[in-house]
Chain A
Amino acid sequence: MSDLQYPLSSGSFFFSRRKRIRIRCKERRPAVPLFMCAVAVLTLLSFWYLDIDWIRLLSRTPDIGLIFWKLGHLSTNELSIVLASLLQTIAIAVLALLYSMLLGICFGMLAARNVLRLPVLSVLTQAFFSFLRAVPTPVWVLLMLVCFGMGPEAGVAGLCVHTTAFFTKAFAQSFESIPEETLEALEAAGASRVSVFFNAVLPASFSQLVAWCGMRLEVNFSECAILGMVGAGGVGYVIATSMQGYAYGTAGVAILLVFLTAYACERLFVMIKRLFRA
């Protein structure tokens, strides 16, 4: 068996020797091997361009274990500060989610093609929000810090920018998936565009909106833990300052709590999803 060769060609696998059954994929996709080659070339180019000092990196790798060892010496001296900051982080995530939900419904209404039926407006809204979505959240938070000063307010405002942009696209998609017949029936009965939205579009897409919110809460929490590191309060700030001040025990407790909260969130949503599927 050891002299068998399985040459890989055009995304399908076949035996080249005699007495073997030819297995060939009926639908060949020439794009796949092309894509693979392109990825390989680009990756090699990237590694060459980055020019990483592998020896130094590998020689220091054991230090990661050392850091984890230090982080593992949990110190509960500042537990109350850590807990308060974790609570603040959760509050930032929830508040940003709630504000963005309201804004997202408003802008989603503008961006969806079947609600107001103003194509120019929906294209403009979509373009503007895809710009907002393309810029990473910490950049927005940094700019909000300039406006509001250090603190959780800047975190909420910065997180809102990105979350609203995300919701606008997601909600517009949900609104557009409503069957046209529902809207026409109400329009034929003489309902205005706004009342069609509130009486048909919003209730029909409600469950989808809730699903989007659940998914986004998870993302918001982990982003929020990050935001503190650029100065927006919350648990990220505690992690960053205690790491920089070599207070690894406190940082360890904070990281552990972040991990546990994120994990609990994930399990909760898996459970809810299973409940709804069943």
Chain B
Amino acid sequence: MSRKIPLLSPDLRRLYALFLGAVLLLFVIATALTGFTPALFFGQSGEIWKFLSEDFLPPRLPESGRIQVIAEAFLTTLAMAMASTTAAALLAFVMALFGSERISPYPKAARFVRGFATFLRNIPTLVWAFILFSSLGIGTGVGFTALLITSFAFMTRAFIETMEDVSSDCVESLLAAGASFPERVVHAVLPAGLSGFISWYLYCIEVNIRASTIVGMVGGGGIGLVLFSYIKTFHYGIACSIILMVAAMVIIVDQISGRIRKEILK
């Protein structure tokens, strides 16, 4: 084994070296800025272990009076995700019709519709939640609105892409036959893109189940708020059992939506 056959061509090798160098440089800069090194884990391993084994880990049940509150909070979180996703899907469908240049009756305005959706989408959900909380007060209604805005913006973009992918032939042939805008929507866009819309809708449900827990944490109500208050008051055992339940909820919803997707998109 004195000589190896080089498997990579030299210029590819140079590209990889350049890439690796850039990654290393980024790594060094980012470490310097945040001060995070894996050594932290070893330095504080005693404290972390103590926290895990004594406070966090045997998951404890809350006192029996609180169990009903927790169950209601879970239902609120689920209802918030469900209601906001469906409302957002309906609004996004209408919006997407005007955002797609091929379908919209006003193709010139499509650019503005998409710009508006991009603006809404690129502000994270929690920032929306903060903006809304400072104007509308706190409560489930505001959590609902925050989820509505972000999933509306996301689905508008997804629906526009689905429409552009799917229905150009049908729409053009209907247009040539003289069909009006509502007729084109009902007979071409809707049936051709239905499975795509449903698939995006299910994806959004999955995302919003997680997001509604997070929005709850800053004041949207639901299980996020309950979890946050238990962590704030150092009841880590109870927090642990709530985290396990949240994980179970998310996994169950994912399984159900996966099953539905398989059934519908067969």
Contacts and interface: CB of A to CB of B under 8 A. Distances in A.
A138 interface: yes
B130 interface: yes
A50 B64 CA distance: 24
Contacts of A61: 136
B264 A35 contact: yes
Contacts of A275: none
B198 A35 contact: yes
A276 interface: no
Interface string B104-143: 0000000000000011001111110011101111011110
Contacts, number: 191
B27 A95 contact: yes
B136 A60 contact: yes
Given A60-B137, A134-B251, A136-B246, A32 B124 contact: no
A52 B141 contact: yes
Nearest to A199: B7
Interface residues of A, number: 77
A258 B123 contact: yes
B165 interface: no
A229 B130 contact: yes
A4 B46 CA distance: 76
B47 interface: yes
A99 B41 CA distance: 13
B16 to A, nearest CB: 9
B213 to A, nearest CB: 5
Given A57-B141, A136-B210, A136-B214, A43 B130 contact: no
A95 B36 contact: yes
A226 interface: yes
B31 interface: yes
Interface in B241-258: 243, 246-248, 250-251, 254
Given A13-B191, A95-B31, A262-B122, A148 B40 contact: yes
B140 to A, nearest CB: 5
A230 interface: yes
B227 interface: yes
A138 B27 contact: no
A91 B194 CA distance: 41
Given A91-B33, A226-B125, A67 B247 contact: no
Interface residues of B, number: 75
B127 A239 contact: yes
Contacts of A87: 33
Contacts of A11: 191, 194
A258 B124 contact: yes
B71 interface: no
A50 B30 contact: no
Contacts of B266: 29
A230 B217 contact: yes
A95 B31 CA distance: 7
A266 interface: yes
Interface in A210-254: 222-223, 225-226, 229-230, 233, 236, 239-240, 243
Contact of B126 (A45, A143, A148, A229): A229
Contacts of A47: 79, 83
A250 to B, nearest CB: 13
Nearest to A130: B251
Nearest to B49: A147
A147 B260 CA distance: 40
B35 interface: yes
Contacts of A146: 51, 231, 236
A199 to B, nearest CB: 8
B34 A226 contact: no
B63 interface: no
Nearest to B260: A35
A156 interface: yes
A71 B79 CA distance: 31
Contacts of A222: 124
Contacts of B47: 147
A139 interface: yes
B218 interface: yes
3 tightest A-B contacts by CB?
A: A46-B79, A91-B33, A63-B135
12 contacts: A11-B191, A31-B263, A31-B264, A46-B79, A46-B80, A52-B140, A63-B135, A64-B135, A135-B250, A142-B231, A146-B51, A243-B131
Interface of B: 23, 26-27, 29-31, 33-36, 38, 40-41, 44, 47-48, 51, 56, 75-76, 78-80, 82-83, 86-87, 118-119, 122-127, 130-132, 134-137, 139-142, 144-145, 186-187, 191, 194, 198, 201, 210-211, 213-214, 217-218, 227-228, 231, 236, 243, 246-248, 250-251, 254, 260, 263-264, 266
